[in-house]
Amino acid sequence: MNIVVCISSVPDTTSKINFTDNNTKFDSCGIQFVINPNDEFGLTKAMVLKEANGGTVKVITVGDATTEPVIRKTLAIGADSAVRINKTASDSYTTALEIATYLKENPADLIIAGKESLDYNGGAVPGMIAEMLDLPFVNACNGLEIAENNAKVSREIDGGKEYLSASLPLVIGGQKGLVEESELRIPNMRGIMQARSKPLQVIEASISEDFTTSISFEKPAEKEACKLVDSNNVAELVNLLHNEAKVI
Amino acid sequence: MSVLVYTESWDGSFRKSTFEAASYASETAKILGTEVIAISLGEVSSDELDKLGNYGVSKVVSCSAIEKGDGQAATNAIAKITDDANILIFSNTNTAKMIAPRLSAKLKVGIVSNVIGLSESTNPLQVKRKAFSSKAIELATVNTATAILAIAPNSFKLIETGGNCTIEEVATNEKGAITIEGKETASGKISISEAEIVVSAGRGLKGPENWGMIEELAELLGAATACSKPVADIGWRPHAEHVGQTGKVVAADLYFAIGISGAIQHLAGVNSSKVMVAINTDPEAPFFKAADYGIVGDAFEVVPKLIEEIKQLKG
Ligand SMILES: Cc1cc2nc3c(=O)[nH]c(=O)nc-3n(C[C@H](O)[C@H](O)[C@H](O)COP(=O)(O)OP(=O)(O)OC[C@H]3O[C@@H](n4cnc5c(N)ncnc54)[C@H](O)[C@@H]3O)c2cc1C
Ligand 1 centroid from CA B260, angstroms:
5
Report d(CA A233, CA B5) in Å as an integer: 48
Domain count, chain A: 1
Q: Which pLDDT score, from 0 to 100, does residue B295 have? A: 98
Q: Is-contact A161 B239, C-beta < 8 A?
A: no
Does residue A16 belong to any structural domain of this protein?
yes
CA nearest neighbour of A141 among B104, B221, B97, B106: B97
Q: Is B124 exposed, middle or buried (0-12, 13-18, 19+ CB in 10 A)?
A: middle
Does residue A235 belong to any structural domain of this protein?
no
CB B286 less than 6 A from any atom of ligand 1: no
Other CB atoms closer than 10 Å to residue A224's CB: what's the count? 7
Does residue A231 belong to any structural domain of this protein?
no
Which residues in chain B (208-267) have CB-CB distances under 8 A to chain A? 221, 233, 239-240, 242, 245-247, 253-254, 264-265
CA nearest neighbour of B195 among B116, B274, B134, B118: B274
Does residue A123 belong to any structural domain of this protein?
yes
Span B271-291, pLDDT tens digits: 999 999 999 999 999 999 999
Does residue A68 belong to any structural domain of this protein?
yes
Residue numbers of the domain that contains A47:
2-220
CA nearest neighbour of B2 among B113, B71, B85: B85
Contacts of B100 in chain A (CB under 8 A): 124, 127
- Helix axis angle for B96-107 and A92-105, nearest 10°, is 80
Span B55-69, pLDDT tens digits: 999 999 999 999 999
Does residue A234 belong to any structural domain of this protein?
no
Does residue A237 belong to any structural domain of this protein?
no
Q: Is-contact B155 B117, C-beta < 8 A?
A: yes
Q: Taking 90 as the threshold, does the pLDDT of residue B84 lie above it?
A: no
CA dihedral A162, B232, A116, A215 (to 10 degrees): 130
Q: Which pLDDT score, from 0 to 100, does residue B189 have? A: 76
Report d(CA A146, CA A169) in Å as an integer: 11
Beta-carbon separation of B278 and A138 below 8 A:
no
Which residue's CA is the nearest one to ligand 1's atom 29? B261
Beta partners for residue A217, in sequence order: B138
Interface predicted TM-score of the whole assembly (ipTM), two decimals: 0.95
Give the minimum alpha-carbon distance from A95 to chain B in angstroms, rounded to a whole number: 11
CB pairs under 8 A between A and B: 279
Q: Is-contact B141 B124, C-beta < 8 A?
A: yes
Q: Taking 80 as the threshold, does the pLDDT of residue A243 lie above it?
A: yes
Among B14, B104, B192, B287, the residue to mutate for chain A (most A Cβ within 10 A) = B104
Which residues in chain B (47-106) have CB-CB distances under 8 A to chain A? 69, 71-72, 75, 92-95, 97-106
Does residue A236 belong to any structural domain of this protein?
no
Q: Put residue B313 in one of left, alpha, beta given phi > 0 → left and psi -120 to 50 → alpha.
A: alpha
Q: Which pLDDT score, from 0 to 100, does residue A214 have? A: 96
Span B183-205, pLDDT tens digits: 998 766 789 999 999 999 999 99
> What structural domains does chain B harbor?
2-169 (3.40.50.620), 197-314 (3.40.50.1220)
SS3 B99: helix
Q: What is the mean pLDDT of chain B?
A: 95
Residues in chain A: 248
Report d(CA A139, CA B129) in Å as an integer: 21
Residue A95: closest CA among chain B residues belongs to which residue? B105
By Cβ distance, the residue of A127, A137, A214 closest to B138 is A214
DSSP state at residue A147: E
Q: Taking 90 as the threshold, does the pLDDT of residue B54 lie above it?
A: yes
Q: Which pLDDT score, from 0 to 100, does residue B34 have? A: 95
Which CATH number covers residue A213? 3.40.50.620
Give the minimum alpha-carbon distance from A198 to chain B in angstroms, rounded to a whole number: 30
Cα separation values, A59 from A239, B22, B161, B247, B302, Å = 55, 39, 50, 24, 50
Contacts of A142 in chain B (CB under 8 A): 239
Model confidence pTM above 0.90: yes
Report phi then psi at B110, rounded to 5: -70, 150
Which pLDDT band, with edges at 50, 70 and 90, does A195 fall under? very high
Report d(CA B107, CA B81) in Å as an integer: 12
